[in-house]
Amino acid sequence: MNWVFQDRQEAGRALAELLAELLAERNDFRDPVVLALPRGGVPVAAEVARALGAPMDILVVRKLGLPGQPELAMGAVASGGVEVRNPEVLRQVGLEEAAFRAVAARETRELLRREAAYRGRRTPVEVRNRTVLLVDDGIATGSTVRAAIQALRLRGAEKVVVAVPVAPPDVRRALLSESDEVVCVSTPSPFYAISPWYVEFPQLSDDEVREILEVSEGRPPGET
């Protein structure tokens, strides 16, 4: 069944139902923590965390777009100093290392800015020896999710479950080889973009992301 969600909140509630079933069936998915990929994954993850009674945090990932073709991912950077390269793209274009490093440095600066804007002085939730439910509002190519998975492995996560409302079937299959499970509410085909599968799909601001995180922790918005 191909879903069209009203908004990210409805998508999060639908996703939470599937994750609750999975956690009930798998006794090896212990002590779950919900990590959102900002910005769009944050309201989805908030619904999941609320439904499961699990702690919530963020994992910032920035795509490294090819110079002149920024929509083409040549890699990604993630929280914790993780850098992932797309060797196929880099081999095809023959990009010089200096050009790659310039893009990586720029996106790392933005990653650090977002970390500070969203988290403030709060420390990251511990993921070592835990099951991480990695949540976004959808997956298109999977490049940012792959970087996030590698970052979580380096931080000692015991299990990584990719959880999204919508993703193309081929990308879902590919991510199964890199994660411990992939949970999707809908895997439509053909798949051109994430936004057509939502009635309301607004861009979120940094302030909105920060407010959702504060509310998920039971703190008044604006408190640092």
Statement: residue 160 has pLDDT above 60: yes
Asked if CATH classification 3.40.50.2020 holds for the domain at 8-59+125-216, the reply, yes or no, is yes
Statement: residue 220 has pLDDT above 80: no
Q: For residues 208 and 221, what is the distance between their CA atoms, to the nearest angstrom?
A: 10
pLDDT tens digits along 103-114: 999 999 999 999
Q: For residues 2 and 64, what is the distance between their CA atoms, to the nearest angstrom?
A: 31
Each domain of the chain, given as residue ranges in start order, spans 8-59+125-216, 63-118
Residue 220 backbone phi and psi in degrees, to 5: -65, 140
CATH topology of domain 63-118: Ybab; Chain: A; (3.30.1310)
Q: For residues 114 and 18, what is the distance between their CA atoms, to the nearest angstrom?
A: 30
Residue 197 tokens, joined: 């599968």
Q: For residues 15 and 163, what is the distance between their CA atoms, to the nearest angstrom?
A: 7
Q: Which residues pair with 182 in a beta bridge?
A: 162
pLDDT tens digits along 164-215: 999 999 999 999 999 999 999 999 999 989 999 999 999 999 999 999 999 9
Residue 221 tokens, joined: 């918005």
pLDDT tens digits along 197-207: 999 999 999 99
Statement: residue 224 has pLDDT above 80: no
